[in-house]
Structure 1
Amino acid sequence: MSEPENTGSGEGTGKRRIIVVDDEPFVLKVLARQLSLLGYEVHTFERAQDAISMLDTGGPGAHVVFTDLQMPEMDGVEFVRRLAGARYEGHLVLVSGEDPRILRSAERLARAHGLNVLGALPKPATREQLKDHLSRAEGAREARGSEAGPKYPLDDLVSAIRTGQLVNYYQPQVSLATGAVAGVEALVRWRHPRDGIVSAGEFIGLVEQHGLVDEFVREVLPSALSEIAGLQLPGDELRLSVNLSMDNLNALDFPDFVAASAANAGFPLSRLSMEITERRLVGDQLSSLDILTRLKLKRIGLAIDDFGTGHASLAQLRDFQYDEIKIDCSFIHGSYADESLDAIVRASLSLAKQLKMTTVAEGVENANDWHHMRELACDRAQGYFIGRPMAVEELPRWRNEWASRFRQL
């Protein structure tokens, strides 16, 4: 095995270590120099096998690995597979001059192997791109260090559901044409007595695993209806979107529960929308169709959430009349600079228009995403560029801030 070149200052410096693998010496040197100037200790390899051998033999580990895809002997795809086999726990960045679609496929493959992928970069990668990806690695490391992945006992979660510890946060949705606030999506959080506000990603798996989804939704839906009803101003048409799961679509009394909850809160059913994630529309199709039809009869809106990520998108549009399509963030964010993503978004918007459905762009993360969705005449947008999920009392302040920002846009 050839000895790796170390462009950093060695062990004991406190610098974070990076491995770079590329069979082109000039590209390797340029990338290594950029990374070392950012303050990292860099080890370079022209052969992927040498990098694997160093990791296998207990040599210096790496916090981040940068690798090319097109390499002789062992290409980047095999290298990724070998990294997964070696149980590499650091982060991975793919850097390649290959077609962006191949790069995305390799990125998805690496994620499927369980690797911590920071992203994929075209050659030549700029210093700003490198800095952006490395900052994500630092952020992920700090999050792991501060949270340490809390594991909550089932009894604690059941108690939280039944004692009112679950609270709703709301992410705004606005009109792309006028900037008007169209509605909010309710996103559940756990107000934990020890850990503070805990996002749903930390406990929703436990809810689904133990069949608590129906009880979960029946606990949080009435409070969401009451909070948004209390927020409405005279003449307001603010809509509320709530996520559903298959467990709700198997409970035949669910439409009556929704109607009763809305009546108690004084919230018009015509301004309520139920979001169904398409990949969850499996199981008892007869019960699902029964419940969805009854929800429609009550004038409750129905939306396909995360459109394009499941296996039955067109079948669902064929079999049932939905009012709204929410195009998944994995297609929206960055589509202004990616021909493939742009084509998918345009096709989805055209399909929705022909079916007379409202379109919502999820994952609008920056001004470029925003302007691109406006150019494509998407109806509404949702994402961090507009507003993060927030407590109900924060919405009026955000609303004023958004009005000022939209005037500048």
Structure 2
Amino acid sequence: MEPSARPRKILVVDDEPFVLKVLVRQLTALGYEDVLSYEHAQDALAVLEREDHDVDVVFTDLQMPGMDGVEFLRQLVQRGYDGQVVLVSGEDARVLNSAEKLAYSRGLRVLGSLAKPATREQLQQRLHGAAPAMCASVPQDAYPPEALRNAIAAGQLVTCYQPQVAFATGEVTGVEALIGWQHPRDGLVPADRLLNGLQYYGVLNDLTRSMLPSTLEQARQWQHLGDDFRVGINLSMDDLAALDFPDFIVEAAARAQFPLSRLVLEINETRMTRDRLVSLDVLTRLRLKRISLLIDDFGTGQSSLAHLRDVPFDELKLDGSFVHGASRDASLNAIVKASLLLARQLNMRTIAQGIDDLEDWNVLRELSCEVAQGKFVGAPMSAEALPQWARTWAARYAALAR
């Protein structure tokens, strides 16, 4: 069924009878006729244990006697529930946010959270786009290293490009090149699933070296899209462990006639090799060649500040988990402000990832972030689609600036 399809059956769990009745009445008024309601989490679990339960969305309170909402979510995972979840609670917003993150981390498909009392409009907003249960995603370790090596040799790797634009002027500033594996059985597998996998150590260097030359050649054709058009490329742990990697980059850029000063190498600290001296050797040499080094997903690791101290990064990308929703969440807003201030004091260019709506755009623009990347600007796309996107974006930005 298409993602816009309505859920078939909804289950609501809340220990307060009045709140439970109000939620059921609101959902029924919105046209959801098959709604189950329970005051006790154990009773709800008994329903979900049946193979034919057909429950697509679960609404649950967090503060419940006997079994609280966090334990209930854990039980959903243990029972293999593959539908969607909405948290509805009177708890503090930060507690709600923590519970939502925990549910995501456990693999549940979370539609969001709502503070009590939830309005009919808020319920509709959360349910908009909710779809019936789908098959679980392929486990991260489903592909043996040899399968990836064969995919590289067979030319099954593809590159998409996500555009980046300047907040202040709307000018196209570049793209991030995103590699995917066009798997013959599982469809497009994002490279994120592979770049952090220790089991692929020794294979990922082949991935970068096979894809980077064509990416640079493609990017050279887009120089007219912006005065300082840059291309960002994600590095793997293999790349950072290869002492000859800087020389490979220089040779590939020379063949593609792509300026090294417009190349941005994106490094996630989780991919730093266990031999920190080798990583520092590679990264320092790259910086000496006037290649930009970007610390990716800033704030999500345990040693981001130490890496800013030790590695000559000159660009910082805010992680989307902090950016999206910063207009509504005071904690996220404070983290974003502090990160941008730190970057400015270190003379680093700033990019906000996860600009998914107008509210995200407005708040990061007001905070003087330099570059935007996210669904609001443009989703990852093929090389052929980028010029047309650029024309469409120019018209959109003109309307935004009025």
TM-score (norm 2): 0.89
Task: Write the letter of the residue equivalent to 1:375.
Answer: E
2:18 aligned residue (13, 26, 43): 26
Task: Write the letter of the residue equivalent to 1:402.
Answer: W
Q: CA deviation at 1:321?
A: 2.1
1:4-15 paired onto structure 2 within 5 Å: none
Instruction: Check conservation: 1:118, 1:136, Cα contact below 8 A.
Output: no
48-57 vs 257-266, which deviates more? 48-57
Q: CA deviation at 1:235?
A: 7.8
2:3 aligned residue? none
Task: Write the letter of the residue equivalent to 1:213.
Answer: L
- Determine the C-alpha separation between the residues in 2 that align with 1:92 and 1:400: 39
Are residue 46 (structure 1) and residue 43 (structure 2) matched? no
2:270 aligned residue? 279
The verdict on how the C-alpha distance between 1:210 and 1:55 changes in structure 2, with shifts beyond 3 A counting, is same
Instruction: Check conservation: 1:15, 1:41, Cα contact below 8 A.
Output: no
The verdict on how the C-alpha distance between 1:235 and 1:110 changes in structure 2, with shifts beyond 3 A counting, is closer
Q: CA deviation at 1:195?
A: 6.5
1:138 aligned residue? 131
- Determine the C-alpha separation between the residues in 2 that align with 1:196 and 1:59: 26
Are residue 247 (structure 1) and residue 247 (structure 2) matched? no
Q: Any idea what SS the aligned residue of 1:65 has?
A: strand
Are residue 210 (structure 1) and residue 190 (structure 2) matched? no
Q: CA deviation at 1:205?
A: 6.6
84-93 vs 380-389, which deviates more? 84-93
1:2-401 paired onto structure 2 within 5 Å: 16-36=8-28, 37-56=30-49, 60=53, 62-138=55-131, 141=134, 144=135, 157-191=148-182, 198-200=188-190, 204=194, 209-211=199-201, 212-233=203-224, 236-401=227-392
- Determine the C-alpha separation between the residues in 2 that align with 1:231 and 1:15: 43
Q: CA deviation at 1:197?
A: 6.7
Q: CA deviation at 1:204?
A: 2.6
Figure out how many residues of one structure are paired with residues of the other and give that number.
392
Unaligned runs of 5+ in 2: 1-5
- Please, what is the CA RMSD of the aligned residues? 2.7
Q: CA deviation at 1:202?
A: 8.8
Q: CA deviation at 1:271?
A: 0.5
- Determine the C-alpha separation between the residues in 1 that align with 2:382 and 2:110: 31
Instruction: Check conservation: 2:238, 2:273, Cα contact below 8 A.
Output: no
- Determine the C-alpha separation between the residues in 2 that align with 1:400 and 1:59: 49
Instruction: Check conservation: 2:84, 2:133, Cα contact below 8 A.
Output: no
Q: CA deviation at 1:56?
A: 4.7
Instruction: Check conservation: 1:70, 1:76, Cα contact below 8 A.
Output: yes
Q: CA deviation at 1:394?
A: 1.3
TM-score (norm 1): 0.88
Q: Deviations over 1:24-81 (max 9, x none)?
A: 2222112112223332411111222322344457784522211111122322122223
Task: Write the letter of the residue equivalent to 1:98.
Answer: E
82-91 vs 357-366, which deviates more? 82-91
147-156 vs 395-404, which deviates more? 147-156
Q: Deviations over 1:123-157 (max 9, x none)?
A: 2223343334334441773xx49x98996676554
The verdict on how the C-alpha distance between 1:53 and 1:234 changes in structure 2, with shifts beyond 3 A counting, is closer
Instruction: Check conservation: 1:18, 1:43, Cα contact below 8 A.
Output: yes
Q: CA deviation at 1:112?
A: 3.5
Unaligned runs of 5+ in 1: 1-13
